Chain A
Amino acid sequence: MSKATVRRGLWSDAWYRLRVNRAVLIAAGLLILVACIAICGPVLSPYADDTLDWQHLAMPPGWAASHWFGTDRLGRDLFVRTLHGVRISLLISVLASAVSLVIGVAWGSIAGYTGGRTDGWMMRFVDVLYSLPYLFIVIILTTVFERGSLTVLLVAIGAVGWLTTARIVRGQTLTLKRREFVEAARAAGLGTSGILFRHILPNLVGPVVIYATLTIPQMITFESFLSFLGLGVQEPLASLGSLINDGAQEMQSAPWMLLLPAGFLITLLVCFNLLGDGLRDALDPRDH
């Protein structure tokens, strides 16, 4: 083994593998581009997302009247609405991933580290929720609480997303807690919370980072799915899901209403998935 290979740690190794993966680079570039357009784009347009332009109803995309993506049946500008939809989808999915990450990591690491009956009951609970279609839980939550509130939507989506994280984290914790350095820390007199925070959690960062990247597209799908069904983001706000639903009803006369938001959603989902897969390959060298 040469000196250079000895010096390379897990992270620099992973960074190297990530940089040479062309799919990841393209995906990351596209995501940054879409995010920039979503943030800056609406400023360029003379319209707001709820301006009704009665002169131009259901107009196809083009340069005329600055409706670059065309308008919907009510004359609202689709360029602005689609980009607002991208913003909402990104915002909700990132926040919901964070929510589900916090719950999942806490749940999984406590269950895994405590072990025994506590572990059994905690994971049984996860299994039960897992075997249900997640939509039930979300539908119950949106039936119960005020529909259209972004907080409820966020909690509902995040509340379902933590299950897989909890499982992964528990599995990792189970292997970690039998390792020598944990035993050494315990022998040195460190308490349970000390071991969890100082020794277990830092070692969980790798798998959690990978999973978080793969969670974001799932959250985007959840959110758009609910909005598609009319249970998520409510008018006059737009989400990619509600725009696709509007577009699907008008696709015979105005196919652009479907194709543009669908294109943005597909780009986001494919890019996040490629990024997550690339990260997994980079951080988990077993497959190489």
Chain B
Amino acid sequence: MKSALLLRYAMRRVLGFIPTLFCIVTASFFIVRLTPGGPFDQEQALPAQVRANLDRLYGLDQPLGMQYLHYLGGLAHGDFGPSFKLRDFSVGELIAQGLPLSLTLGSAAVLLAILLGVPLGAAAALRRNTAADYGITTLLVLGIALPSFVTGPLFALVFGLYLHWLPVAGWEGGEPRYLVLPVLTLAIPVAAYVARITRGSLLEVLRANYVRTARARGLGDARVLWRHALRPALLPVVSYLGPATAYVVTGSLVVETVFGLPGTGRYLVQGAINRDYTLVMGMITVYGTLTLGLNLVTDIVYGWLDPTVRHE
């Protein structure tokens, strides 16, 4: 019974995922294509013949509807098309080159954020209104307020240039120490959010009647926390993980730029600056799938943890 409900809930979520992704791909295709200015607009105008050949080579001379169908057909085969600006590469190759690093960076950051954030938030909640609580909450305000494009360069300056503890930037064959500062930069705001959410929801749960009952039955603090309070208190943290992945995806653009890492994030920015249609659309498709997919996983995990959600 329980698993059947959960399965139905999961199916409904999966069915919602596909049309959303389709909408994103379609909308980004038409918005990007309907713009004035194209990838071959340069300061010096190309001769008409060259221009026409280029357009034919990349299929830009066909009607928009045909281009769209062609693009969708390619996507179905995992073909993102050629990059307009980085001539020697297809968009698929560029993504395949950078994605492993970006995924490592992102997942390490989310993991670190949870490992830092949950204990910090729980500690603050358990020591409510003490100096420790105030200290932690102040730190959290800073962690949330400061964006990664400020903390990243400052970390590089302090830990890299002044203290010489860690490399400032680069990616020499993938040594882990090159990842320390980027992961830290990316993780801090997420960790601060996780801690703030944990603190708030744990405080609420600790006031609940069943926790008081558990205390009245003579259970110690640690046992009340582990057996009764922590699991419901972590539900809001789980539901935050969806937005957190979106945040990490955005943050990775900055972090990859600041620390000179060869991930996929910089392609999105480069593509936008160069009006490289296929590159921008390919990146949006990949990142859209990634964020929507992780939101989906979050939703399903949430439904598994909180039975009331399945019955909506």
For the complex, is A277 an interface residue (Cβ under 8 Å from B)? yes
Contacting residues, chain B, for A128 (C-beta < 8 A): 20, 23
Inter-chain contact B150/A229, CB cutoff 8 Å = no
Among A136, A231, A245, A251, which residue has its beta carbon within 8 angstroms of that of B161?
A: A251
Q: Is the interface of A mostly helix, strand, loop or mixed?
A: helix
Instruction: For the complex, give the distance between the alpha carbons of A147 and B147 in Å.
Output: 23
- Whether the pair B250, A133 counts as a contact (CB closer than 8 A) is yes
Which residues 260-301 in B have Cβ within 8 Å of A in the complex?
Answer: 268-269, 271-273, 275, 280, 284, 287-288, 291-292, 295
CB contacts (< 8 Å) of B280 on chain A: these are 139-140, 143
Least Cβ–Cβ distance between B135 and chain A, in angstroms: 14
B146/A228 in contact, CB under 8 A: no
A145–B141 Cα gap in the complex (Å)? Answer: 35
Hey, what's the 0/1 contact readout for B24-40 against A, CB within 8 Å counting as 1? 10001001101100000
In the complex the two chains form, is A228's CB within 8 Å of B254's CB? yes
CB < 8 Å neighbour of A247 from B34, B153, B288:
B153
In the complex the two chains form, what is the Cα distance from A241 to B291 in whole Å? 26
A249-264 contact mask (Cβ, 8 Å, vs B): 1 or 0: 0011001001100100
Does A140 lie within 8 Å of B284, measured CB to CB? yes
Bound form: Cα–Cα A136–B285 in Å:
10
Question: Cβ of B211 < 8 Å from any Cβ of A?
Answer: no
Q: A262's closest neighbor in chain B, by CB?
A: B150
Is A270 located at the chain interface by the 8 A CB criterion? Answer: yes
Bound together, the chains give a CA A228 to CA B253 distance in angstroms of 11
Known contacts A133-B246, A133-B250, A140 near B149 by CB under 8 Å? no
Residues of chain B with a CB closer than 8 A to A109's CB? none
Q: Is the CB of A134 within 8 A of B250?
A: yes
Interface flag for B144 (CB, 8 Å):
yes
With A139-B280, A258-B154 as given contacts, are A252 and B161 in contact (CB-CB < 8 Å)?
yes
Smallest CB gap from B141: residue in A: A273
What per-residue 1/0 map shows which CB atoms of B129-152 lie under 8 Å from chain A? 000000000000110111101101
* Interface 0/1 of A204-247, CB less than 8 Å to B: 00000000000001000100110011110000000001001101
Decide: A251 near B147, CB < 8 A? Known: A140-B32, A229-B253.
no
For B137, give the chain A residue with the smallest CB separation: A277
> Chain A residues with Cβ under 8 A from B23's Cβ?
128
Residues of B within 8 A of A221 (CB): 147
Q: Given the complex of chains A and B, what is the CA–CA distance between A255 and B28 in angstroms?
A: 40
Q: Find out whether the CB atom of B153 lies under 8 angstroms from the CB atom of A273.
A: no
Chain A's nearest CB lies how many Å from the CB of B269? 5
B31, B145, B149, B284: the one within 8 Å of A225 (CB): B149
Q: Is the CB of B145 within 8 A of A140?
A: no
* B150 A270 Cβ-Cβ under 8 A: no
A217 with B145: CB separation less than 8 A: yes
Cβ-based interface call for B258 (8 A): yes
The answer to whether A135 and B157 touch across the interface, beta carbons within 8 angstroms, is no
Interface pair A258/B157, CB less than 8 Å apart: yes
Tell whether, in the assembled complex, residue B154 and residue A131 are in contact, meaning their CB atoms are under 8 Å apart.
Answer: no
Could you tell me the distance in whole angstroms from the C-beta of B277 to the nearest C-beta in chain A?
9
User: How many Å lie between the Cα of A245 and that of B152 in the bound state?
Assistant: 11
A144/B291 in contact, CB under 8 A: no
- A131 contacts B295, C-beta separation under 8 Å: yes
What are 24 contact pairs spanning A and B, CB under 8 A? Answer: A128-B20, A131-B246, A133-B247, A133-B287, A134-B246, A135-B249, A136-B288, A140-B280, A143-B32, A143-B280, A144-B34, A224-B149, A225-B147, A228-B149, A228-B254, A229-B269, A241-B149, A244-B149, A251-B153, A251-B156, A262-B153, A266-B146, A269-B146, A270-B146
Question: What is the interface of chain B, defined by CB distance below 8 A to chain A?
Answer: 20, 23-24, 28, 31-32, 34-35, 141-142, 144-147, 149-150, 152-154, 156-157, 161, 242-243, 246-247, 249-250, 253-254, 257-258, 268-269, 271-273, 275, 280, 284, 287-288, 291-292, 295
Task: Sort A-B residue pairs by CB-CB distance and give the 3 closest, nearest first.
Answer: A248-B153, A144-B35, A269-B145
The interface of chain A, by Cβ under 8 A from chain B, is 128, 130-136, 139-140, 142-145, 147, 217, 221, 224-225, 228-231, 241, 244-245, 247-248, 251-252, 255, 258-259, 262, 265-266, 269-270, 273-274, 277
Question: What would 4 more interface pairs be, CB under 8 Å, given A229-B254, A251-B161, A273-B145?
Answer: A132-B246, A132-B288, A136-B284, A258-B154
